[in-house]
Amino acid sequence: MKLCMIGTGYVGLVSGVCFSDLGNEVICVDKDIEKISKLKKGIIPIYEPGLSELVKKNYKANRLSFTTNISEAIQKSNLIFLCVGTPTKKNTNAADLSQIFNAAKEISYNIKSSKIIINKSTVPVATGDQIEKIISKKVKRKLFSVVSNPEFLREGEAIRDFTYPDRIIVGTSNKKSNRILKSLYSPLISKGAKYINTSRRGAELIKYASNAFLATKISFINEIANLCEKTNVNVEDVSIGMGLDKRIGGRFLRAGPAYGGSCFPKDTRAIVDTASKFKTDLSIIKSVIASNKNRSKLLLLRVSKILKNKIKNKKISFFRCYF
Ligand SMILES: NC(=O)c1ccc[n+]([C@@H]2O[C@H](COP(=O)([O-])OP(=O)(O)OC[C@H]3O[C@@H](n4cnc5c(N)ncnc54)[C@H](O)[C@@H]3O)[C@@H](O)[C@H]2O)c1
């Protein structure tokens, strides 16, 4: 199949390269001229084990190309993946969807034949409806469909996560788009990935709900760790003892400073914001956000106590002990 990835960041680059490795022709597009010219020279902008080799292999085989020319990329492709950033909007909890809406406008100027627009970016429920509205201002509805296909890869494990996903979520009520997406993912389905077709809004919400649940699990064990510290209990014992219960599971149940990274903080805030727009109070997720802030403060207090409050200008490193 002929694909283009709009946005060659973590998600666009990794999934684009992996799709090309499955035998598809993939064009990775980005606005960032420097990023694209480096990629053309084989310089990878992120550290991800195995990525450099896959880029070189598929670039050499002419299945993978890089460009800043969005209109040419759209016209040459049948499947257009949206992989742009959705950071937190300044001074709010809401997701900033400007990159999504700008990309949707650019797509709308360039559709001349039938296309499927597949959103991989993490977006609030009902964003697909807005993307469809923007594109339909310029393009007849029968020429395109908008699908939600959230990405669940983790940085550092991205190629493995893409190649062996637990599930592939495709949100669309368009039968033809669903059939094409199922065929695109068939090499992963045949290796055991579960393919789930849901409504578009359902797929959008599955992504936020999954991240919020994982953040909840981390915050839960971190709060138990707070109690362990006061009661002289090793929280690792509690993690293992709890995690062996199959209903609970041991993953994301290891105590640490607090959750961070590029997704959990922004996605927990965004789902709370979305819920409030739909007049729903997500009180558990709100508590998780507050608990996470408190956990990082407690860590600071602990370090400060160890250093007898002489924390200024100290260089501190953390390491994890495995027994
Ligand atoms: N990073 C992760 O681990 C991860 C995992 C799952 C889902 N996600 C989600 O996927 C989305 C993308 O995340 P990311 O980490 O890849 O972001 P990123 O910031 O690394 O990459 C986004 C890229 O899109 C480009 N871009 C923006 N507008 C463009 C346009 N109109 N045309 C061409 N290029 C454009 C930017 O220049 C940038 O290179 C986000 O919604 C994120 O929440 C990220």
Question: What's this model's pTM, rounded to 2 decimal places?
Answer: 0.94
In which band, very low, low, confident or very high, does the pLDDT at 314 lie, cut at 50, 70 and 90?
A: confident
Residue 229: both structure tokens together: 């510290």
Q: How many residues does the chain have?
A: 323
Pocket test for ligand 1, best of 29, 30, 67 (most atoms within 8 A of CB): 30
Catalytic site includes residue 263: yes
- CB distance 214 to 252 below 8 Å: yes
At 299 the pLDDT is 87
At 173 the pLDDT is 98
Task: Give the mean pLDDT of 90-105.
Answer: 97
Cβ-count burial 214-253 (b if 16+ within 10 Å, e if not): bbbbbbbbbbbbeebeeeeeebeebbeebbeeeeeeeeeb
At 319 the pLDDT is 74
Atom 43 in ligand 1: residue holding the nearest Cα:
122
- Measured in angstroms, how far is the CA atom of residue 320 from the centroid of ligand 1? 30
Pocket test for ligand 1, best of 84, 98, 154 (most atoms within 8 A of CB): 84
Residue 299: both structure tokens together: 């860590």
- Domain residue ranges in the chain: 2-198, 207-306
Q: Which CATH number applies to 2-198: 3.90.45.10, 3.40.710.10, 3.40.50.720, 3.10.20.30? A: 3.40.50.720
CB-based pocket (< 6 A), ligand 1:
6-12, 29-32, 35, 70, 83-86, 99, 102-103, 106, 121-122, 151, 153, 155, 262-263
Question: What is the residue-averaged pLDDT of the chain?
Answer: 96
The residue with greater pLDDT, 312 or 82, is 82
To the nearest 10°, report the CA torsion of 177, 183, 188, 193. 60
Atom 18 in ligand 1: residue holding the nearest Cα:
9
Alpha helical stretches, state H, 111-257: 127-136, 158-163, 175-184, 186-189, 200-231, 235-243
In which band, very low, low, confident or very high, does the pLDDT at 320 lie, cut at 50, 70 and 90?
A: low
At 322 the pLDDT is 53
Task: Give the mean pLDDT of 128-157.
Answer: 97
- Measured in angstroms, how far is the CA atom of residue 179 from the centroid of ligand 1? 26
Angle of the 51-60 helix axis to the 10-21 helix axis, nearest 10: 50
Taking 60 as the threshold, does the pLDDT of residue 164 lie above it? yes
Give the least confident one: 152-161, 197-206, 280-289, 311-320.
311-320
- Ligand 1 atom nearest residue 158's Cα: 3
- Return the amino acid letter for 84: V
Active-site hit among 28, 228, 263, 321: 263
Atom 12 in ligand 1: residue holding the nearest Cα:
85
**For domain 207-306, which architecture applies?**
Orthogonal Bundle (1.10)
- Measured in angstroms, how far is the CA atom of residue 316 from the centroid of ligand 1? 32
Give the least confident one: 121-125, 284-288, 298-302.
298-302
DSSP assignments along 60-104, one per residue: HTTSEEEES-HHHHHHH-SEEEE-----BPTTSSSB--HHHHHHH
- Ligand 1 atom nearest residue 32's Cα: 37
Backbone angles phi, psi at 106, to 5 degrees: -60, -40
At 321 the pLDDT is 60
- Measured in angstroms, how far is the CA atom of residue 232 from the centroid of ligand 1? 43
